[in-house]
Amino acid sequence: MEKRKFLFNSLTGLIGDIAWQVSKEGHEVRYYIKDEKESDIADGFVPKSDNHEKDTEWADIVIFDDTLGQGQKAQELRAKGKKVVGGTAYTDRLEDDRSFGQEELKKAGVNIIPYKEFTSFDDAIEHVTQNPGRYVIKPSGEAQNVKRRLFVGEEDDGQDVIRMLEAYKKAFSDEIKVFQLQRRVTGVEVAVGAFFNGKQFIHPINVNFEHKKLFPGNLGPPTGVLGTSMFWSMPNQLFN
């Protein structure tokens, strides 16, 4: 394969392993991490970039690893003729705006779990008080990246969710601006996905069973799908 120049553009250092693999295959690599607290990730493994705008001009291919505006940047570069791996403004919104994503699923004929969006903790507390039940608290936007802030209620009267909302109001009002209360359902979360080259999906597809909790037995705080298991498959009924 012809050697290329790759710029990996990351917000919090999520793609160091792929950057290292591409470097080992003989390509020129530069790795930019925006968050200063995370900027030492992969030091010693791949060359770093401290000026992603300059290195965007240098690179043959630019790779983005997240949403939160990364898809918008990828879309703009793609329109200028740059070869880019990344999303779009639309895919950013699908990930970052929970309610928008749910409504798009609904438009596509997918059954969704009942939810309600809030910008006020007081309003959410009142909602649970008036409609007792088991709920899941799901922050939207950048706040959802802190996985331990997702809270799964256990009590049928919703009092544990109310206590958590009161705690969030005191501690995280400046950080959690928008969030959902979703009715809790039991079962195993199954997801299916595939890489997309701009025209068609690439096979094989990936099927995964999501397990967020830190410890066995569904115990501990939620994580970034720490215990997820998966397998590769050709297209099946779920994918189609």
Region of residue 130 (left: phi > 0; alpha: psi -120 to 50; beta: else): alpha
Nearest-angstrom CA–CA distance, 185 and 48: 44
pLDDT tens digits for range 104-152: 999 999 899 999 999 999 999 999 999 999 999 999 888 777 666 889 8
**Residue 92: which pLDDT band, with cuts at 50, 70 and 90?**
very high
Does the pLDDT at position 224 exceed 90?
Answer: no
Q: Domain extents for the chain? A: 5-94, 97-183, 189-233
Q: What phi and psi, each to the nearest 5 degrees, are found at residue 121?
A: -65, -35
Contact (CB, 8 A) for 59 and 30: yes
Whole-number pLDDT of residue 147: 63
Query: pTM for this structure?
Result: 0.80
Q: Convert the pLDDT of each residue in 2-53 to its tens digit.
A: 999 999 999 999 999 999 999 999 999 999 999 999 999 999 999 999 999 9
Please write the tens of the pLDDT for every residue from 156-198. 999 999 999 999 999 999 999 999 999 999 888 899 999 888 8
Tell which wins on pLDDT, 187 or 75.
75
pLDDT computed for residue 28 by the predictor: 98
Alpha helix (H) residue ranges in the chain: 16-24, 52-58, 70-79, 89-96, 98-107, 121-130, 159-172
Class of domain 5-94: alpha beta
- For domain 97-183, give the CATH superfamily: ATP-grasp fold, A domain (3.30.1490.20)
Bigger pLDDT: 222 vs 181: 181
Q: How far apart are CA 164 and CA 124, in angstroms?
A: 11
Residue 72's pLDDT band (boundaries 50, 70, 90)?
very high
Q: Is 29:23 a contact under the CB 8 Å cutoff? A: yes
